Amino acid sequence: MRHVELNLDALVGPHFNFGGLSFGNIASEANKMAISNPKAAALQGLAKMRFLAQKGIPEAVLPPHERPAIRALRRLGFDGCDEMVLQSAARDCFPLLLRHCSASSMWTANAATVAPSVDTLDGRVHITPANLAAKFHRSVEAEFTALLLKKIFFNSKYFCHHPQLPAHADIGDEGAANHSRLSLSHGARGQHLFVFGFSALNHGMPRPKLYPARQSLEGSRAVARLNSLSEDQVAFVQQNPAAIDAGAFHNDVVAVGNECFLFLHEEAWCEQQSVLHDLSKRMGGGLQIFEVSSKELSLADAVKSYIFNSQLVTLPTGRMIMLCPAEARETPEANRLLCRLQEEAIPHLQIETFDLRQSMRNGGGPACLRLRIVLSDAELAAMHQSILLDESLYGRLISWVNKHYRSSLCPHDLTDPLLLRESREALDELTQILDLGSIYFFQS
């Protein structure tokens, strides 16, 4: 049975803004309260999706979350009509409103952790949404993400959904940004690498000194259990505290893997050589490792360039392609590394550079924008089909963005009731384009 990797990319929402809410994410903090361009952000993301779809990679479009999250604000005591809730929150506590207008759901790598049917004990695809408990503005996402994934992967014969972990930092789970699946091919039995930043129960483990670790060991272990993976398929690895303090708030800022290829920085993990030896043994010697030294590329330049946050995928021909942010080419050390990678790592590796500057300024690169899901042909046919990207859907989405999105948005525009109405009109139309029905709370 053929297996393919579906890349599930989120559309950027009409409320895309630079809130600077993510302490530990250097780009997010550096651009706090700057003017954003929601239209450009959405078009940049769609261009990346279309490129891969044209290469024969299954691409699916995830609709943005409703922002501002009026329903969540009501839970905090703001009442009246929706416009009154918005204006009361803006007047009483603008920073709180800002957290309910976050654009962070666009980074779908944090949406969930998925185990394909070829790996699970019951032969179904297992999906566990991330609780994102480390950051308040992200924890708001979990409920709608779970609803949306159930709507898309609705057939219980093929898909098994688990609730997100309880919303407590001790079992914080940041989704696939801290999870990698390695295998000889997409359809072969895989090894699952869970990278955590701290343990809530083992206080003897090292912790970062400057920025907080977000992924807990306890959360990682819980997700592995829920996703029906056997012990010989999972490895739990601690992220290097120095990497977190350099701005690598998730593992996917310092490491990326695809099938049997692993590309990572030498300071990505604790006890890294031992981990790599174990992974190679588990993979029967079939794992190809490209480890980058700090001398060749410092942690600071790795974070600045987001080179390890490149999107690494396998084409239908079997060749690999890497989608890099433009910043990787503009950072001299990272650009030299890309040249060496293309020459030495994988024969005929194709490297493409994409302008994702709006997302990058908010702290997310190509790999942040997608959730990888390995599916059999039957499973792919059993999911909601109207979100699969083709030229027709791409054209409709481009027209939709150009019709509804603003080209300039400052954080204080988020208090404007007109923006609320514009956004809801856009999302209501989008649910019709994607044939998803009434999924938003304002539609009920």
Show the tokens assigned to 260. Answer: 């049997």
Which residue in 250, 267, 379, 404 is the catalytic one?
A: 250
Active site residue 218: no
Active-site position among 174, 218, 259, 379: 174
The DSSP secondary-structure symbol of 318 reads: S
Instruction: Supply the pLDDT for residue 56.
Output: 96
b/e per residue, 302-324, with b = 16+ CB within 10 A?
bbbbbbbbbbbbbeeeeebbbbb
216 has which bridge partners?
Answer: 198
Eight-state DSSP code of residue 120: S
Question: What CATH number labels 3-443?
Answer: 3.75.10.20
Sorted by where each begins, the domain ranges of the chain are: 3-443
- 368 part of the active site: yes
How far apart CA 227 and CA 126 sit, in angstroms, is: 5
Question: Structure tokens of 259?
Answer: 């099938």
Tokens representing 216 are 């807990």
8 A C-beta contact, residue 313 and residue 5: yes
Is 174 noted as a catalytic residue in this protein?
yes
Helix 38-54 crosses helix 391-404 at what angle (to 10 degrees)? 180
pLDDT of residue 347: 67
The predicted pLDDT at position 203 comes to 85
| d(C-alpha 73, C-alpha 442), whole Å | 13
Nearest Cα to 257, choosing from 335, 316, 184, 175? 184
Which position among 218, 368, 379, 404 bears the catalytic label? Answer: 368
How far is the C-alpha of 178 from the C-alpha of 444, rounded, in Å? 34
- Residue 270 CB-density burial (10 A; 0-12 exposed, 13-18 middle, 19+ buried): middle
Do residues 264 and 308 make contact, with C-beta atoms less than 8 angstroms apart? yes
Q: Is the bond preceding 68 in cis, omega lying within 30 degrees of 0?
A: yes
Per-residue pLDDT tens, the chain, 444 aa: give them: 899 999 999 999 999 999 999 988 899 999 999 999 999 999 999 999 999 999 999 999 999 999 999 999 999 999 999 999 999 999 999 999 999 999 999 999 999 999 999 999 999 999 999 999 999 999 999 999 999 999 999 999 999 999 999 999 999 999 999 999 999 999 999 999 999 999 999 888 999 999 999 999 999 999 999 999 999 999 999 999 999 999 999 999 999 999 999 999 999 999 999 999 999 999 998 999 999 999 999 999 999 999 999 999 999 999 999 999 999 999 999 999 999 998 887 767 899 999 999 999 999 999 999 999 999 999 999 999 999 999 999 999 999 999 999 999 999 999 999 999 999 999 999 999 999 999 999 998
Provide the whole-model pTM: 0.96
CA dist 288 and 316 (Å) reads 20
Predicted pLDDT at 233: 96
